[in-house]
Structure 1
């Protein structure tokens, strides 16, 4: 994902459920989160948000990584693309979730390109100087909802291919998101309520209404050439 807390908001419930099945969970951000405060300087808030990312991932037995690119400056270029491919070489993912191609801010859209490129490229032997993991292959690739589920260019709600029930883990998802205290406290002070968690739950209820459950997360599967086409998320998390 682009920033610390994006994964927790958009797919934290699915990550929790996959972890319950014994999967190794990795949360990676392209950006450092250095614009996430109106009081702290870039280096200070980036350090805070990195620790929050570590804490959130650790709360579900996962591992946090960051490429530490500056906020609002995420770009798909040669250097950042190589960093993403190298990270995928180290993790050797089976299933990847990232932002959709069209979202409310360009950091998300550029992260989409980086994750999509790394997913396709990391199994290519000459794509990275790092050792090629045994059994490396193009992973299943899914796109989480854009923020608020809306296409930013049309204003219309996007139609998911896969909707996963996260009702049983919603409290754990909220606790995971609450690890990002710097963002929660800022919104709580600004709104006068715990909007950080409440907004996540409201949208989870909206997506849950699609399949008749209390809370859900929605995704679109990438079905381009060479990518797996069977819906692995739906198979694993009926």
Structure 2
């Protein structure tokens, strides 16, 4: 075969390959919502948004939970490729329980920086998912990976609609709703719960999913150790482990409900909003579109 013919064949094959994700998406253009959640590590998206993801999935909407790094230093006892593979397996199990798809990007844990290359990865991920809602960390987190996920998503927010940016992937026709997941940081801006979701009805499902990520809670992740592990019920006692996990997450999600009570009452009404025990909360980003309450109830269809 002549070189010119080979080049033509290669170009055609590359073009076909680049088109595959969009051909596949055409089949599931079913009118359902499409939500993508970015976390820095393989557990962050599950922790911040796993309950809300489960509620969307129960209604048939499409959710993808993304880790922007591979988590390969996120343990006190192991690191590198084996840990990255372990954590990928963990989040796949967790996401299957939630009803979400999984994406773990191959960027080293602790080394995420807001480069143009990484911004383009985020743009492509949002476009390929054809997102209606994008959720990410706030860009004021103490952890550089968390912080830069927020910066990268913020920098991608306008660009996802620009045709000649990442032109190999079709631009979105409408800017998604961009949200921050909650955190406890007070400076420079404390988190403000614009939207709060009751996860009472999926709390057990979320716990079952989180249980599948033992490297991070039962073993303590980066900040664990032998002393920490000795205080956790052993893997052989599953019931005790789950009780240990429940106690911690009841406190965490209960605190979320307490701090976001005004938003819960706004969307569920005075009686139901006051009765919510466990919640996940989100802040509407200053970039992107600013939705009305009516639009939010379309995007969060489980609100009354």
Alignment TM class, shorter chain as reference: 0.7 to 0.9
Q: Find out whether 1:174 has 2:207 as its counterpart.
A: yes
Matched-pair contact (CA < 8 Å) for 1:164–1:234: no
Which one has a bigger Cα radius of gyration?
Answer: 2
Displacement over 6 Å in runs of 4+: none
Provide closer, same or farther for how the CA distance between residues 174 and 233 of structure 1 changes in structure 2, counting only shifts above 3 A. farther
Partner of 2:256: 207
Q: Distance in 2 between matches of 1:117 and 1:230?
A: 23
Q: Secondary structure at the match of 1:201?
A: helix
Q: Distance in 2 between matches of 1:234 and 1:11?
A: 17
Q: Find out whether 1:139 has 2:157 as its counterpart.
A: no
Matches for 1:43-192 after TM superposition, within 5 Å: 43-132=81-170, 136-146=173-183, 150-151=184-185, 153=187, 158-187=191-220, 189=229, 191-192=231-232
Structure 2: gaps (5+ residues): 1-38, 221-227, 234-240, 262-272
Q: Distance in 1 between matches of 2:191 and 2:167?
A: 38
Partner of 1:22: 60
Deviation at 1:197, TM superposition (A): 4.9
Q: Distance in 2 between matches of 1:223 and 1:234?
A: 19
Q: Distance in 2 between matches of 1:112 and 1:159?
A: 16
| Cα deviations by residue, 1:75-109 (Å, 9 ceiling, x for unpaired) | 11111111111222211111011111222312111
Q: Distance in 1 between matches of 2:93 and 2:296?
A: 25
Q: Secondary structure at the match of 2:94?
A: helix
Deviation at 1:196, TM superposition (A): 5.2
Using the size of structure 1 for normalisation, the TM-score is 0.88
Matched-pair contact (CA < 8 Å) for 1:88–1:119: no
Provide closer, same or farther for how the CA distance between residues 183 and 137 of structure 1 changes in structure 2, counting only shifts above 3 A. same
- Give aligned pairs, total: 232
Q: Distance in 2 between matches of 1:131 and 1:41?
A: 34
Matched-pair contact (CA < 8 Å) for 1:2–1:30: yes
| Cα deviations by residue, 1:117-138 (Å, 9 ceiling, x for unpaired) | 23321221111132316x6321
Q: Secondary structure at the match of 1:126?
A: coil
| Cα deviations by residue, 1:121-175 (Å, 9 ceiling, x for unpaired) | 1221111132316x632101111111xxx21537x96331111111010000111
Provide closer, same or farther for how the CA distance between residues 68 and 191 of structure 1 changes in structure 2, counting only shifts above 3 A. farther
- RMSD (Å) for aligned C-alpha atoms: 2.2
Could you say which structure has the greater relative contact order, defined with CA pairs below 8 angstroms and 6 or more residues apart? 1
Deviation at 1:29, TM superposition (A): 1.1
Q: Distance in 1 between matches of 2:53 and 2:135?
A: 10
Deviation at 1:228, TM superposition (A): 4.0
Using the size of structure 2 for normalisation, the TM-score is 0.70
Q: Distance in 2 between matches of 1:153 and 1:196?
A: 30
Provide closer, same or farther for how the CA distance between residues 107 and 152 of structure 1 changes in structure 2, counting only shifts above 3 A. farther
